[in-house]
Amino acid sequence: MLKTIGLASVIAILAAGGYFAFTQLQYSGSQADPAAPAVVNWVAAAPGRVEPKSGEIRIGTSLLGRVAEVMVKPDDKVEEGDLLIRLDDAEARAKLGAAETQAEALREEREKQFVSGREDVRKAEDAIYSAERAATGARIEFDFALSEKRAGKANADQPLADARQRLKDANSRLDRERLAFVKAQSKSNLPAPNSAESAVSAARTEVRMAEALLDKSRLRSPIAGTVLQVNAKDGEVVSPSPEPLVVLGDMSLVRVKAEVDEHDVAKIKVGQKAFVRSVSFPGKEFEGTVSNTASSLGQAKIGPRGPRRANDVEVLEVTIDLEKGVPLLPGMRVDAFFR
């Protein structure tokens, strides 16, 4: 049974550059009768763009600084928390060292002014501070081991695995100590801290601020995935900008963000089968399933470049999860067809 190809679907395909795909579907026919129209096995079509499962994660810097070391290159696999780029951190490390020294000096002064009834709180505060320092040290050790691995040093796998485990253990310890501090502070009739205790708390806050500044000089991966782009070189001066320094994505699965014409919205539902075509792979169809639809219509982002016209229609963003192993690359434009 033949189905009529709606004008809206034709416009959507043409807008995506899919004229060839459309004419092939409409006029290919059979070998026995080339003039006979082909059977159309889809109800709607839309332009789309390929992206990783996680979407493209664009990582930039919040600081003005010089790139000291670029740790990754395109196609590298990274884990969550891996160091991607390190900015020059000499000033940040100096501030952290000075803050730690001041905090330790004030802690010694505090011990001379003992306040009964706050022993548990004081011990919990000290335990948190100790755990924070251990976590910072483990993170720096891990960054160094990762740098050795990326540089191709022999026998670097085991030291990196050990450093990763120590960092995990240090973070777990820090979580436990924070919970213990909350419990110690929640006790009733707790005496107010004296001036020495307040001074130590303030000094340790300065340590944490210095540590946060140091950490901003290190760009880390928020996910486990693949490096798609690197837009930084050693020695460059970088600043906060919309242009990312690194683009990441989870390439374990690729998906398509399609923009369905509002006239075809009622034909689309989650779980529906679909396929996509790309001019890069003529004659091939890549199967997928609709995994999500937007909750409202919006402006088209994939259509022809240029200003919007008054009669432009709104579109529904639809996510299609493709089957594993497809050769499509992030950023490719495709034509999506919904069965």
pLDDT at 203: 95
Residues 159 and 26 in one domain: no
Structure tokens at 74: 């395109």
Query: What CA–CA distance (Å, rounded) separates 261 from 58?
Result: 28
The confidence score (pLDDT) of residue 308 equals 53
pLDDT band at 324 (very low <50, low <70, confident <90, very high): confident
Residue 182 has which token pair? 């909350």
Q: Which whole number is the average pLDDT over 248-253?
A: 89
Lowest mean pLDDT among 3-17, 65-79, 167-181, 238-252: 3-17
Would you say 312 and 266 are in contact if contact means Cβ atoms under 8 Å apart? no
The last residue of a domain, from among 220, 249, 278: 249
In the chain, how long is the greatest CA-to-CA distance?
100
223, 249, 275: which is the final residue of a domain?
Answer: 249
pLDDT digits (tens, 9 = 90+) for 125-179: 999 999 999 999 999 999 999 988 888 888 888 999 999 999 999 999 999 999 9
* Least confident span in 35-49, 73-87, 95-109, 303-317: 303-317
Flag whether pLDDT at 303 surpasses 70. no
Instruction: Please indicate, yes or no, if residue 85 is contained in any of the structural domains.
Output: yes
- The residue out of 249, 283, 304 marking a domain boundary is 249
Q: Give domain status of residue 59, yes or no.
A: no
Q: For residues 263 and 299, what is the distance between their CA atoms, to the nearest angstrom?
A: 14
Q: What is the pLDDT at residue 20?
A: 39
- Cα gap 110→43, rounded to integer Å: 75
Residues 69, 158 within the same domain? yes
Q: Evaluate whether residue 13 is within a structural domain.
A: yes
Q: Is residue 19 scored above 70 in pLDDT?
A: no
Q: Is the distance from CB of 212 to CB of 140 less than 8 angstroms? A: no
Is 124 within the bounds of a domain?
yes
pLDDT category, 27, cuts 50, 70, 90? very low
pLDDT value at 3 more than 90: no
Q: Using the 8-state DSSP alphabet, how is residue 59 labeled? A: E
> How many beta carbons lie within 10 A of that of residue 239, not counting itself?
10
Please compute the mean of the pLDDT values over residues 57-67 and round it to a whole number.
Answer: 93
Contact of 140 with 148, CB cutoff 8 Å: no
Asked if 106 and 199 count as a contact pair (C-beta separation under 8 A), the reply is: yes
* The pLDDT of residue 44 is above 70: yes
List pLDDT tens digits, range 211-248: 999 999 999 999 999 999 999 999 999 999 999 999 99
Q: Which of 6-10, 138-142, 189-193 has the highest mean pLDDT?
A: 138-142
Q: What is the mean pLDDT of the chain?
A: 84
Q: Same domain, yes or no, for 176 and 129?
A: yes
Q: Do 185 and 290 share a domain, yes or no?
A: no
Count CB-CB contacts under 10 A for residue 252: 12
Q: Are 114 and 244 within one domain? A: yes
Nearest to 250 by CA among 56, 71, 48: 56
**Contacting residues for 51 by C-beta, under 8 A, at least 6 apart:** 249, 254, 255, 256, 257, 330, 331
Residue matched to tokens 């200003």: 307
Q: Is residue 2 part of a domain?
A: no
Q: Based on the fold, state whether residues 115 and 17 are members of the same structural domain.
A: no
For residue 152, what pLDDT is reported? 83
Residues 212 and 291 placed together within one structural domain of the fold: no
Based on the fold, state whether residues 180 and 308 are members of the same structural domain.
no
Identify the pLDDT of residue 61. Answer: 93
In a domain, 60, yes or no: no
Q: Are residues 139 and 204 in the same domain?
A: yes
Residue 14 has pLDDT above 90, yes or no: no
What's the whole-number mean pLDDT along residues 200-208?
94
Domain that holds residue 179: 65-249
Is 235 found in the same domain as 296? no
My answer on whether 15 and 145 are in the same domain is no
- Cα 20 to chain centroid distance, Å, stands at 35
Whether 217 is covered by a domain: the verdict is yes
Pair (123, 235) in one structural domain: yes
CATH number at residue 268: 2.40.30.170
How far is 257 from 72, CA to CA, in rounded Å? 28
Q: How many domains does the chain divide into?
A: 2
The verdict on residue 100 lying in a domain is yes
Number of C-beta neighbours around residue 308 at 10 A: 10
Distances from the Cα of 50 to the Cα of 1, 74, 327, angstroms: 32, 18, 11
Tokens encoding 181: 């501090």
